[in-house]
């Protein structure tokens, strides 16, 4: 009889179980190493009409198709996002209104990047906690996406709708994820306004804000990338603010990017803004900017003829709490400034003169109660525009303090005009 060879018996063993030796004489504990969780998982899209075109992707790179429902491809990807996990979404989702538009799971702490078409209005949910990544993506068709970044802990992330009008030739935002080894003690940094224009020799003033992201970060030391900039104070406790002033020369001209760096013993963060030095002067503040405060029925919406592609409407007055407040309006010194309001207020009878014949008030004009830093400045009359496709403007003189100011518009009586932007100059 030929002796039989012993057979090897493979038995699957659950993680953490014990392997028993023959006769139970000895036991050996299994060391089980778990694979790291995927950076992105559990994608859920609320835009049901286009959900099938969304998918989780790996290895972001030039040449990849941007959308699941369009042929556009990436033509440029910044180094920070090359090989990153990303979500291929649907271009048609740009008009969806559902909020949140999509949710997904982060397996570990990560920076989430949203690339917003530079022609699109920045939606309100992309607020000041989303900082400028100081880089862009590009896609075929000449599309440029401005990258905004926000740090998230492991867990669910919700992204809101872009909400673009169907008539606007803009693309849906892009999404990328870069896992991080975030310090247990972390802070945020943002600078506003995003851009300013001054005449040669003038000083531009920006607001620098910090916040606590996690734990107990140290004092943050601040610095700027241009030699003509001063930061007051030069270091802050996380949660406090500083003022950035950039002094220009009489011979300066052109546009420069200014990067503010904040650093403590745990982390370093940056935020960038632009400054244009030319003959125009004045600083523009968009009504639909996410840092502003909208009350009651006031809403940011798309506007094809407006400077930033958007406006704020729905300030209806009539005893309603509707209001728009511009935050972070900067002034280099205490004083009275020209504030020019750009707006739309189509009169049904074509009357563009306040109180003009044949239409007595309120026809021909829209009232605006203006409040600066909580103090009423009075009621100003905004002459109606000939139609809803023409911008009007009104310049008023308002007292501002040195540094950051708030300017609020509302009405206790008639509807307020739809506001595009304000321009502040001495």
pLDDT band, residue 22 (cuts 50/70/90) = very low
For residue 9, the model assigns a pLDDT of 44
Structure confidence by residue, pLDDT tens digits, 37-67: 788 999 999 999 999 999 999 999 999 999 9
Q: For residues 89 and 203, which has the higher predicted lDDT (pLDDT)?
A: 89
For residue 357, the model assigns a pLDDT of 40
Q: Matching CATH topology for 186-281 and 285-425?
A: no
For residue 209, the model assigns a pLDDT of 92
Q: What is the mean pLDDT of the chain?
A: 84
∠ Cα 266 267 269 (to 5°): 160
User: Tokens in use for 2?
Assistant: 């030929």
Which residues lie across from 362 on neighbouring strands?
none
Please check the confidence at residue 10 and state whether its pLDDT lies above 60. Answer: no
For residue 55, the model assigns a pLDDT of 96
May I ask the CATH class of domain 186-281? Answer: mainly beta
Q: For residues 29 and 308, which has the higher predicted lDDT (pLDDT)?
A: 308
Q: Which of 24-38, 91-105, 229-243, 403-417 has the lowest mean pLDDT?
A: 24-38
For residue 350, the model assigns a pLDDT of 54
pTM, two decimal places: 0.50
CB atoms under 10 Å from CB of 319, counted, come to 9
pLDDT band, residue 91 (cuts 50/70/90) = very high
For residue 359, the model assigns a pLDDT of 38
For residue 347, the model assigns a pLDDT of 67
Q: Is the dihedral of CA 286, 291, 294, 295 positive or negative?
A: negative
Using CA atoms, how far apart are residues 261 and 362, in angstroms rounded to an integer? 51
Most confident of 6-15, 77-86, 193-202: 77-86
For residue 280, the model assigns a pLDDT of 61
Using CA atoms, how far apart are residues 93 and 67, in angstroms rounded to an integer? 10
pLDDT band, residue 127 (cuts 50/70/90) = confident
Domain spans in the chain, listed from the N-terminal domain onward? 40-179, 186-281, 285-425
Please check the confidence at residue 422 and state whether its pLDDT lies above 90. Answer: yes
- Mean pLDDT (whole number) for 220-249: 93
Structure confidence by residue, pLDDT tens digits, 376-392: 999 898 888 877 888 88
For residue 200, the model assigns a pLDDT of 80
∠ Cα 411 417 423 (to 5°): 100
- Mean pLDDT (whole number) for 270-294: 84
In angstroms, how far is CA 319 from the centroid of its own chain?
A: 31
Please check the confidence at residue 369 and state whether its pLDDT lies above 90. Answer: yes
CATH H-level superfamily of 285-425:
Galactose-binding domain-like (2.60.120.260)
Q: Which of 5-9, 49-53, 181-185, 374-378 has the lowest mean pLDDT?
A: 5-9
């Amino acid at each position: 009889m030929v002796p039989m060879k012993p057979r090897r018996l493979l038995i699957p063993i659950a993680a953490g179980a014990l392997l028993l030796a023959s006769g139970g004489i000895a036991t050996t504990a299994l060391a089980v190493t778990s694979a790291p969780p995927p950076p992105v998982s559990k994608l859920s899209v609320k835009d049901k009409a286009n959900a099938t075109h969304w998918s989780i992707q790996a290895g972001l790179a030039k040449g990849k198709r941007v959308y699941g429902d369009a042929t556009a491809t990436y033509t440029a990807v910044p180094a920070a996002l090359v090989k990153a996990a990303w979500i291929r979404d649907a271009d048609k989702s740009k008009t969806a209104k559902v909020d949140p538009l999509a949710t997904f799971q982060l397996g570990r702490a990560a920076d989430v990047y949203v690339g917003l078409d530079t022609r699109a209005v920045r939606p309100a949910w992309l607020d000041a906690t989303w900082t400028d990544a100081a880089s862009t993506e590009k896609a075929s068709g000449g599309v440029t996406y401005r990258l905004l970044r926000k740090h998230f802990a492991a867990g669910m992330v919700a992204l809101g709708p872009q909400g673009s009008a169907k008539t606007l030739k803009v693309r849906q935002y892009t999404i990328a994820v870069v896992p991080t080894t975030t310090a247990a003690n972390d802070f945020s940094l943002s600078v506003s306004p995003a851009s300013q224009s001054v005449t040669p020799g003038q000083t531009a003033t920006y607001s620098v804000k910090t916040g606590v992201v996690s734990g107990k970060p140290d004092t943050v030391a601040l610095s700027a990338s241009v030699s003509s900039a001063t930061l007051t104070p030069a270091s802050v406790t996380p949660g406090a603010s500083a003022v950035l002033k950039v002094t220009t020369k009489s011979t300066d001209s052109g546009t420069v990017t200014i990067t503010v760096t904040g650093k403590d013993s745990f982390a370093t963060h940056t935020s960038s803004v632009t400054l244009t030095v030319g003959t125009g002067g004045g600083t523009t503040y968009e009504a639909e900017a996410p840092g502003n405060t909208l009350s009651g029925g006031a809403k940011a919406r798309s506007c094809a003829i407006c400077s930033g592609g958007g406006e704020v409407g729905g300030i209806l007055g009539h005893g309603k709490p509707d209001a728009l407040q511009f935050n972070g309006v900067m002034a280099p010194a205490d004083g009275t400034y020209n504030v020019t309001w750009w707006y739309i207020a189509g009169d049904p009878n074509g009357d563009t003169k306040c109180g003009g014949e044949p239409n007595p008030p309120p026809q021909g004009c829209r009232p605006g109660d203006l409040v600066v830093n909580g103090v009423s400045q009075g009621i100003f009359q905004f002459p109606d525009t000939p139609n809803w496709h023409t911008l009007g403007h009104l310049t008023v003189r308002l007292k501002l303090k040195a540094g950051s100011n708030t300017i609020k518009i509302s009405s206790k009586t008639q509807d307020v005009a739809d506001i595009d932007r304000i321009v502040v100059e001495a």
